[in-house]
């Protein structure tokens, strides 16, 4: 796809799982966090490596995207000190006008009392001046504009019981999302939805999927969108979903910090979308580790047309 002035490039990182886990004080101990901490120490700590994430980010910066989208799981067991560390990482990644984030289930993991939690990241997950004319006035969904591309941030993450990682968008947010997507569509903007959990039923099992996936599917089908990006499954995923005026692409990315293959989860990857709103098309380039602890290389490149059947 030729690069023209209207093309907007969006880099997508997800599930960075920043370590180490600090600040696990007695006041935050519970069964959920205890199990999560054990899982981190036994199976995840050696897999999610900051040096791998740093290489991914350096490679991404070399490609100079117009905007960076991060779809959650910056933390591991949702501790205040993890949230503060994630804010520092976001500030190093870029300014709030160039970086957008939505929370993941590991960010909103369990109760933390009156602590600000992920609200520390508010500057990175609120509507900008141009997008505010389309938002609902609530925290989520929020809207940011990058040229003719509208980034719509949706929160699917809620505290869950031990051994569960499901999500829920909620009736109120779904109603607001329906209205926001319709107004953005009427304005002729390319609608890029950011969410942590896979947005369609069947893309994750009951313990990990969206509890109201069917309702979200219905909103997307009625109101429409062009592209939905997500994380959560730590795998490369691609699906289609129909709406009234065509179809939308649903794309998930692996963890951006995974040093080695972990079961079905590949080593680290990120995606770059070069979006041409007028053509209703984008070029998807996947870059990451082709082998355990390898160098960052191009893994995939394809042009996706939303008009084709």
**What is the total count of domains within the chain?**
1
The CA distance from 83 to 89, in Å, is 10
Specify the pLDDT at position 3.
44
Residue 186: phi, psi to the nearest 5? -60, -30
- CATH number of the domain to which 57 belongs: 3.60.21.10
User: Does 2 fall in a domain?
Assistant: no
User: Does 1 fall in a domain?
Assistant: no
> Of all residues in the chain, what percent carry a pLDDT higher than 90?
91
Asked whether 82 and 75 are in contact (CB, 8 A), the reply is yes
The CA distance from 275 to 283, in Å, is 7
User: Does 226 fall in a domain?
Assistant: yes
Specify the pLDDT at position 245.
81
Asked whether 229 and 104 are in contact (CB, 8 A), the reply is no
Question: Who wins on pLDDT, 5 or 41?
Answer: 41
User: Does 288 fall in a domain?
Assistant: yes
Model pLDDT for residues 22-34, shown as the tens digit of each residue? 888 888 889 999 9
Specify the pLDDT at position 308.
59
Question: Who wins on pLDDT, 212 or 138?
Answer: 212
Segments forming the whole domain that contains residue 70: 8-305
User: Does 200 fall in a domain?
Assistant: yes
Distances (CA, A) of 162 to 36, 73, 99: 8, 17, 31
Instruction: Work out the average pLDDT over 30-56.
Output: 95
Model pLDDT for residues 242-253, shown as the tens digit of each residue? 998 889 999 999
Statement: residue 175 has pLDDT above 90: yes
Statement: residue 232 has pLDDT above 80: yes
User: Does 227 fall in a domain?
Assistant: yes
Give the closest residue to 271 by CA, choosing from 107, 44, 93, 71.
71
Model pLDDT for residues 128-141, shown as the tens digit of each residue? 999 999 998 889 99
* 125 three-class SS: coil
């Amino acid at each position: 796809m030729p690069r023209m002035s209207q093309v907007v490039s969006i880099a997508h990182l997800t599930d960075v799982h920043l370590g180490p886990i600090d600040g696990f004080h007695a006041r935050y101990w519970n069964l959920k966090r205890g199990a999560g901490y054990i899982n981190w120490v036994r199976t995840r700590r050696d897999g999610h490596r900051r040096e791998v994430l740093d290489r991914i980010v350096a490679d991404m910066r070399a490609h100079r995207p117009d905007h960076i989208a991060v779809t959650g799981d910056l933390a591991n067991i949702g501790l205040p000190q993890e949230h503060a560390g994630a804010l520092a990482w976001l500030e190093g990644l870029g300014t709030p006008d160039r970086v957008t984030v939505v929370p993941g289930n590991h960010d909103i993991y369990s109760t933390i009392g009156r602590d600000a939690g992920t609200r520390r990241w508010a500057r990175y997950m609120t509507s900008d001046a141009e997008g505010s004319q389309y938002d609902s006035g609530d925290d989520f969904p929020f809207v940011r504009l990058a040229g003719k591309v509208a980034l719509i941030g949706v929160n699917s993450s809620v505290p869950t019981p031990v051994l569960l990682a499901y999500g829920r968008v909620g009736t109120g947010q779904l109603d607001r999302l329906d209205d926001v997507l319709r107004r953005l569509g009427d304005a002729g903007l390319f609608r890029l939805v950011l969410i942590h959990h896979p947005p369609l039923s069947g893309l994750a099992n009951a313990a990990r999927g969206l509890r109201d996936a069917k309702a979200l599917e219905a909103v997307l089908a009625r109101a429409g969108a062009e592209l939905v990006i997500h994380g959560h499954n730590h795998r490369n995923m691609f699906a289609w979903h129909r709406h009234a005026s065509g179809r939308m692409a649903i794309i998930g990315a692996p963890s951006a910090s995974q040093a080695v293959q972990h079961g079905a989860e590949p080593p680290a990857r990120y995606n770059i979308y070069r979006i041409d709103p007028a053509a209703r098309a984008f070029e998807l380039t996947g870059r990451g580790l082709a082998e355990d602890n390898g160098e960052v290389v191009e893994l995939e490149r394809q042009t996706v047309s939303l008009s084709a059947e």
